[in-house]
Structure 1
């Protein structure tokens, strides 16, 4: 199969996936590049593979590709210089998690921050990422790119945090909030097996109601500056509670 016109109906529908509204409606999203597509293929979420005419499909053994003209690929690509390999993927249904190491994000707005935190969570052996309803869209192109494929390898759920965190506490999970006030140094908190680390909005931090139900409040000891970028802070906290062995 070959598609040459950007006005093709299928192309128009795929292009709509650049907007959150249509991603939510269809349960699909677009990704670009060999690395991301390779990770998506491993996870079994690639529905369609598109390759630019004149290029070789590097995944021909795993998935047959639809050949598209350069103009079609430019219409679908979020990159200003275009892309020669694009996939239409199904939004991953969160798999069941062991629920022993969890990251909860309360109103984190920047998709790059959300993506970097997801990537870091996978790197340090966390099981699940919880997002409040107002967090950035996981399937935003910037977020997907920032995860470097990690979103295909961890359970991700968008949920109301307060009841979810309460439920985790009932199951013996220690809930730790990152905070600047009335908090203990991160290095002095006990290392526990079952933990949920809560990080908040870039400007306002964790909502007071969410903060209230946390078991502990932690701050990162620094020699200067009062706070760090939320993704950097997440990296430090997740490393301390990384899965060992």
Structure 2
């Protein structure tokens, strides 16, 4: 069995570029790490190449390229030794029949974006719309935080204002999560069958222009701190508005 032993191998150097957003955008490819993410990518039929550290095995029906540990580590964003690296292709999402959506207004942290994806998929939301200044969904930290949900959940980077207007034309009511004098307690909200929830930037929340477009503002009632981490707030809102209507 041939083993890639050099970190200067031409193919490895090209794949390592995918750790950078500009190269992911240019090529349409991205990297995933770990056995769970590899299996999710294979199930979603987006896995194109699989690199495995020498001495490791992965029991899946897919060609495996064996590499020495330094070679595998060159493809990894983690500090510790990686074992499995997959190269995947991006997929264009076109789902149109949507009832429950999330809209992210400049959410910056990759871990927050990834966790929101995992939450939305877990609670049966149909799609996530992201403003163009949100964290990159294909950032390695975002991908890891999604736990594979990005392979199964529709999403798109959009002009958020135009998207909200279009959703409203489809009779999808838009709720903005905000600590605002006009916002209502979550427990008092009447949730329709079709709706969207807007979540904002970790520091300054939803921008004023987007707030003014929302049909209704909502806040999570709390006894101590005023606000929650955006991913935690997303989980509470997604669950309550999905199941406790």
Q: In structure 1, how many angstroms separate the alpha carbons of the residues matched to 2:113 and 2:65?
A: 31
Displacement of 1:57 in angstroms is: 2.9
Q: In structure 1, how many angstroms separate the alpha carbons of the residues matched to 2:16 and 2:153?
A: 27
Deviates more, 1:73-82 or 1:5-14: 73-82
- For residues 184-220 of structure 1, the C-alpha deviation after alignment (integer angstroms, 9 at most, x for no partner) is 1111111211110000000010010011111000011
Displacement of 1:23 in angstroms is: 0.7
**Which residue is equivalent to 1:4?**
5
After superposition, where does 1:78-227 map in structure 2 within 5 Å? 78-181=77-180, 182-227=182-227
Q: In structure 2, how many angstroms separate the alpha carbons of the residues matched to 1:138 and 1:8?
A: 28
- For residues 8-58 of structure 1, the C-alpha deviation after alignment (integer angstroms, 9 at most, x for no partner) is 111001111111110111111111101111111111110101111222232
Displacement of 1:81 in angstroms is: 1.3
- For residues 86-129 of structure 1, the C-alpha deviation after alignment (integer angstroms, 9 at most, x for no partner) is 10011232141422100000000000000000000001000000
Q: 1:126–1:100: structure 2 CA closer, same or farther, 3 Å change rule?
A: same
Aligned-residue RMSD, C-alpha: 1.2
Q: In structure 2, how many angstroms separate the alpha carbons of the residues matched to 1:32 and 1:97?
A: 30
Q: In structure 1, how many angstroms separate the alpha carbons of the residues matched to 2:159 and 2:211?
A: 14
Q: In structure 2, how many angstroms separate the alpha carbons of the residues matched to 1:234 and 1:54?
A: 41
Give TM-score, length-normalised by structure 2: 0.96
Q: Does 1:13 align with 2:14?
A: yes
Unaligned runs of 5+ in 2: none
Q: How many residues align?
A: 242
Q: In structure 2, how many angstroms separate the alpha carbons of the residues matched to 1:37 and 1:214?
A: 39
Give TM-score, length-normalised by structure 1: 0.96
Q: In structure 2, how many angstroms separate the alpha carbons of the residues matched to 1:220 and 1:212?
A: 19
2:105, 2:130 within 8 Å by CA — same for their partners in 1? yes
Displacement of 1:169 in angstroms is: 0.3
DSSP-derived class of the 1:11 partner: helix
Q: In structure 2, how many angstroms separate the alpha carbons of the residues matched to 1:126 and 1:98?
A: 11
**Which residue is equivalent to 1:233?**
233
